[in-house]
Amino acid sequence: MEKKLLWVDVDAGVDDAAALMMALAAPNVEILGITCCFGNTTVENVCKNVLRVLKKCNHLQIPVYQGASSPLLNTMKNDYFYGTDGLGDVPDADAPGFDQVQHEHAVDAMIRVFSEKPNKVTLVATGPLTNLALAVKMDPMFPKKIKNMSIMGGNMYSRGNIDICAEFNFAADPEAAYIVLNEYTCPTSIATWELANSHSLPWEFYEKCTSQDSEKARFLKEIYTVTTGYQKRPITKLRALYRKPGFVSCDCFAMAAVIAEDSVTESIFCAVSVELTGSHTRGMMVLDLDDKLNKENKVSIAKEMDMEKFKGLLMAALK
């Protein structure tokens, strides 16, 4: 079976870590490289976190590249939902050294590899889209070299997490999100913040999954301690309208959609953009359901997922 070639752009982040572990365990996937961007923590921490994940999964041969350290324009917001270092502030004396990060810049590496393998590599983006925005500005033909792209970010119903109406990854760099959604013409799928919230997993499953007798399961459970503490807080009546109680790992949805394409059972297909100027809506993804923007390139926004297949991917990731 021919493997799917992936390039992953992350701001790792424990949910990025879970998504990477899901891909690394999939027999039908080969990750060619991982580019790092600021987001859940500093870009330096992101690089270190990715190396830690690769070591736990015995895949340190995959090259890791440092990319954007800040947004194109705005001041970065962060609520340290995953701890100040992005991996739950869990010390690791055996973590790989920063010297294992490649010297080539992340954006240069992306442009080089996709140019060497045009239309053969899938790009999965689970953090702010700054590296991707820089890539298209450096090489306007870059999007045409991508087989397809899966993004975790944005929102369908104007509900936000870091802001009133904006999801974290898009709010972290709204200009970058705008550039990517308006200048990337490759087939694109998006897993939104609301998708993840409406497909939370029962805590009983989370305990079963992270209690497997493996180093990977113990690692993920340990680094998720800070985040699961937040997720187990009581949900307000208003939030309960769209947020089911349970475990949520947002980035895994974008990865699952690539590993097992049939795990997405219902989608919205339309043009999208990003609001840049609204006082309460900056960074919000806009769905053009009536085709008023007259855009040729449209995206597939996942609305429903086969959660049994999703659970299977997560269980396999931690074996």
pLDDT at 38: 96
Q: Decide: helix, strand or coil at residue 308.
A: helix
Q: What share of the chain is helix, strand, coil (3-state, %, to 5)?
A: 40, 20, 45
Task: Tell me which of 9, 11, 139, 251 is the catalytic residue.
Answer: 11
Average pLDDT, the chain: 94
Question: Residue type for 82, please?
Answer: Y
* pLDDT at 7 > cutoff 90: yes
- Decide: 106 and 134 in contact? Cβ < 8 Å: no
Instruction: Give the mean pLDDT of 212-225.
Output: 96
| Cβ contacts of 61 within 8 Å, gap of 6 or more | none
HSE-CB at 71 with a 13 A cutoff on CA atoms is: 23
Q: Decide: helix, strand or coil at residue 160.
A: coil
Instruction: Give the mean pLDDT of 203-223.
Output: 96
Active site (annotated) includes residue 11: yes
* pLDDT at 23 > cutoff 70: yes
pLDDT band at 303 (very low <50, low <70, confident <90, very high): very high
The CATH T-level fold of domain 4-317 is: Inosine-uridine Nucleoside N-ribohydrolase; Chain A (3.90.245)
**Token pair for 209:** 């999954």
Q: Enumerate the β-bridge partners of residue 273.
A: 286
Task: Give domain limits for the chain.
Answer: 4-317
DSSP string, 268-295: EEEEEEE--S-TTTTT-EEEETT--S--
Pick from 51-55, 151-155, 289-293: least confident: 289-293
**Torsion angle of C-alpha atoms 204, 206, 209, 210, degrees rounded to 10:** -120
* pLDDT at 208 > cutoff 90: yes
> CA-CA distance, 287 to 285, in Å (whole number)?
7
What pLDDT, in 10s, does the model give residues 229-266? 888 888 776 666 667 789 999 999 999 999 999 999 99
What pLDDT, in 10s, does the model give residues 137-162? 999 999 999 999 999 999 999 888 88
pLDDT band at 220 (very low <50, low <70, confident <90, very high): very high
